[in-house]
A = this chain, B = another copy of it.
C-alpha cells in the first residue's frame, strides 16, 4: 500500500523548532496567515508531504511543468526557536486519512526536535466581525495562563476543532508534545484576511517576531483564487459536476 510520504528537500539542523500549521480551513484564516508569514520571512522549503489521500491528479503550472498536490514544510531560523511552517494545497478529507497524514507529519517534526505545535485557524460564527476576537485552545492546562497574557481568550470557544489544526494537538499530546490552536472569529462564508491578520498578530507576540502585514490583503486574494480552483479540482476528481458544488463543498471556504 502506498503510504503518505515526506520527501525531504534539504537536511537542515534546527534549533528548538516550533511547528506552525496553516492548512486550508474555514475562512482560509490559518492558510492566509501562514502563507503570508512564509513570504514575508523568506522561509525556505525543507520538505514536501505527498499522500494517497490527496486528489489523484497533478497540477499544470504556467511554465509547462506539472507538480504534485501536496503539503509543504518551510524553515525560518530564529533566535531562541527556529520555525517550521506547514502549509499546503489541501487537507485529507476522511478521518482515516487525517490521522495518517498527521501521524506522518508528527514523526517527521519530532525527529527535527519540535516540542511545541501552534495551529492556526478560523472560528466560524456566521457573523461579520469588525474586530475579530482571538480564541485559544491548548493541549495542557498550564498553557492557558501562559497564553492568556497575549490577549488570547480561553473558555469561550465551543464545539470541535476539525482537521489538522485539532489532530496535530491531539495526537501530539499523546506523544508528549505541547500545543495551542489560535483561532480568529470569522463569518465562515467567505475568505477573511482580517481574521487572519488578528491570528498572525497574536502569533507574532508569542514568537516575539515582527511580520509586516501590508501585503496580506493582496496575498489573501491570490490564496482565494487558488483554493477555489483546488476545491473545484478535488470535486472533479470525485466525479462531482460543478452543479453539485454547493452540496459537496469541501468547506475550505465558508
Q: Which residues of A contact B (CB under 8 A)?
A: 1-3, 5, 7, 50, 52-60, 62-68, 93-96, 98-100, 102-103, 136-141, 144, 154-155, 157-163, 166-167, 169-171, 173-174, 181, 229, 233, 236-237, 239, 248-251
Cα–Cα, bound, A139→B155 (Å): 47
CB distance from A186 to the nearest CB of B (A): 16
Cα–Cα, bound, A95→B167 (Å): 22
CB distance from A46 to the nearest CB of B (A): 16
Closest 10 CB pairs of A and B: A64-B154, A52-B99, A56-B98, A58-B166, A57-B160, A56-B95, A2-B99, A2-B103, A68-B170, A57-B162
Query: A55, A160, A181, A237: which has the most chain B beta carbons within 10 Å?
Result: A160
Cβ–Cβ < 8 Å partners of A63 in chain B: 141, 144, 154-155
Q: How many copies does the complex hold?
A: 4
Cβ–Cβ < 8 Å partners of A99 in chain B: 2, 52, 56
Cβ–Cβ < 8 Å partners of A170 in chain B: 50, 58, 66-68
A166 and B136 within 8 A (CB): no
Cα–Cα, bound, A2→B57 (Å): 24
A50 and B233 within 8 A (CB): no
Cβ–Cβ < 8 Å partners of A66 in chain B: 137-139, 161, 166, 169-170, 181
Please pick, from B50, B52, B167, B250, the residue contacting A58 in the complex, using a CB distance under 8 A. Answer: B167
CB distance from A98 to the nearest CB of B (A): 4
Cα–Cα, bound, A163→B58 (Å): 8
B138 and A65 within 8 A (CB): yes
Chain B: CB-nearest residue to A154: B64
A100-B52 contact in complex given A57-B166, A58-B161, A161-B58, C-beta closer than 8 Å: yes
